Amino acid sequence: MAIVQEAGTALWQQHLPADHPFQWPDTDSSSAAPQARVWISPRQRQMSPGEGLPQGQWHPRVLWVGVGCERGTAQALIAQAIEQICGHYGLAVDAIAGLASLELKADEPGLVALCQDHHWPLQLFSSAHLSTIQVPHPSAVVAQAVGTPSVAEAAALAAAQASSAQATTPPLLVPKQVRRQPGVSGAVTLAIAQASREYTGREGHLALVGTGPGSLDQLTPAAKGAITRADVVIGYGLYVDLIRPLLRPGQIVEALPISQERQRARRAIELARWGLSVAVVSSGDCGIYGMAGLVLEHLALSDWDGQTPAVAVYPGITALQAAAARVGAPLMHDFCAISLSDLLTPLAVIEQRLTAAATADFVVALYNPQSQRRTEPLALAHRIFLAHRPGNTPVAIVRAAYRPQETVICTTLDQLLGHPIDMVTVVLIGNRTSRLHQGWMITPRGYL
Ligand code: SAH
């Protein structure tokens, strides 16, 4: 199938087979012999039956029609003007995203009724805003009347700009055109600009999903549903691989390398603001050293109103719970989690918290305990705990819990550093009453 795409989202293209001949505009179709053609464009293409191939057109909603009109302009006049002008310029009415005008026109009956009939949004701008937009045909007369030298062209450009991903000025496909009809009241001025992003007509949704420690069994049904419903799934590649069986054909998957958390968060917000339903996946619980906080922080920075895009957080089984379950019941009394990664937290703060937890006799789960490059914090933790707890305090070292390569080691505090510990390991250090029985770790609650 030969595909020519001139506008609209290219996200779907990741589902094309790798060797699919894809034709952007201007490329010659002679390289492959297509058996069908699809045009993705705001332009109306005249299909010639003689071409002999099945053909289809898809019109992404990228056109914003700026409208200026006299008070009381009939709906039919505006409708006819839109149709005629689209026809004249070879544009598809189906590609219209919506109409745009001056705030004053919020109650213009013909305009409002036309938008309702077509399910077109009506974007309204203040004359102050419109007067800041550079247009090819400003008018002193219009400026005198409504406080901006352009309504139709400026509103079309403003609306197209607002729904574009880039900051560059969108193209004005149709400069201002005035239409009136004998015997019909009013006059209408139209202009059409093209947004770089199509209008979805949907309110975006962000699902912040914890996918549990590894195996799909340990994922809540709610989290599974959120992943399957999403238009787009975004996450670190390894976690996306773990949930791959839940993905459905046609879903957009954006797996990004580790360390690109900020980009993942921004991308998720961008797609949700555009109207997509986006699942951001984090292993374990997404709100425990996961993506949930980062996404919410970015939203807060962008003046989010708390409602749009809608956000839902789906909790997951965090590493400390998974590890605890593998060794018994070490978390039966007060506990805390401390990440030993000094990437985002100064080592002095980590040291302070380790000392506080050790002193207060919390059972402690150490996340991000040790990497090849970073061994010092674990040695520090070891020293601090040994200063406050006996050397025979039980310790569990659980690596890759609920994943195929899982290993579980029960040992004691003084032996802690003799075992392999890496970044897929969580370390549980018992409190002063924790004990080991036949390989099971128990922290008494106080009943017995
Ligand atoms: N959001 C995750 C934690 C991310 S921080 C959660 O709630 O579990 C990454 C750290 O989590 C790893 O360095 C490791 O300490 C721990 N971790 C994550 N998954 C794990 C697993 N399956 N087994 C053991 N530790 C794990």
Mean pLDDT of the chain: 93
Nearest Cα residue to 239 out of 249, 231, 223: 223
pLDDT in tens, 85-105: 999 999 999 999 999 999 999
Residue-level pLDDT at 355: 98
Kindly tell me if the per-residue pLDDT of 401 is higher than 70.
yes
Residue-level pLDDT at 166: 76
Nearest Cα residue to 5 out of 47, 37, 32, 49: 37
Q: Are 220 and 29 in contact (CB under 8 A)?
A: no
Q: Out of 209, 289, 428, give the residue to mutate to test ligand 1, the one with the largest number of ligand atoms within 8 Å of its CB.
A: 289
CATH number of the domain where residue 232 is located: 3.40.1010.10
Protein residues whose CB sits closer than 6 Å to any atom of ligand 1: 213-214, 282-285, 288-290, 318-319, 322-323, 367-369, 398-403, 423-426
CA of 284 to the centre of ligand 1 (A): 6
In this structure, the answer to whether residues 308 and 375 fall within a common structural domain is no
Domain total in the chain: 4
* Structural Rg of the chain based on CA atoms: 30
Burial of 361 (0-12, 13-18, 19+ CB in 10 A): middle
| Domain interval for residue 226 | 205-317
pTM of the model: 0.89
CA of 291 to the centre of ligand 1 (A): 13
CATH number of the domain where residue 435 is located: 3.30.950.10
Average pLDDT over residues 162-168: 82
Domain membership flag for residue 170: yes
In this structure, the answer to whether residues 85 and 175 fall within a common structural domain is yes
Query: In one letter, which amino acid is 197?
Result: R
Out of 66-70, 76-80, 178-182, 349-353, which region has the weakest mean confidence (pLDDT)? 178-182
In this prediction, what percent of the chain has a pLDDT beyond 70? 96
User: What is d(CA 360, CA 352) in angstroms, rounded to the nearest whole number?
Assistant: 12
User: What is d(CA 186, CA 181) in angstroms, rounded to the nearest whole number?
Assistant: 8
Name the pLDDT band for 186 (thresholds 50, 70, 90).
confident
CA of 328 to the centre of ligand 1 (A): 18
In this structure, the answer to whether residues 301 and 333 fall within a common structural domain is no
Out of 74-83, 239-248, 293-302, 339-348, which region has the weakest mean confidence (pLDDT)? 239-248
Q: Are strands 425-429 and 440-442 parallel, antiparallel or unpaired?
A: unpaired
Q: Out of 208, 283, 402, give the residue to mutate to test ligand 1, the one with the largest number of ligand atoms within 8 Å of its CB.
A: 283
Name the pLDDT band for 26 (thresholds 50, 70, 90).
very low
Average pLDDT over residues 180-207: 92
Q: Out of 285, 371, 408, 424, give the residue to mutate to test ligand 1, the one with the largest number of ligand atoms within 8 Å of its CB.
A: 424
Listed residues 24, 41, 58: the one ending a domain: 58
Residue-level pLDDT at 406: 98
Residue-level pLDDT at 35: 82
pLDDT in tens, 195-227: 999 999 999 999 999 999 999 999 999 999 999
CA of 218 to the centre of ligand 1 (A): 14
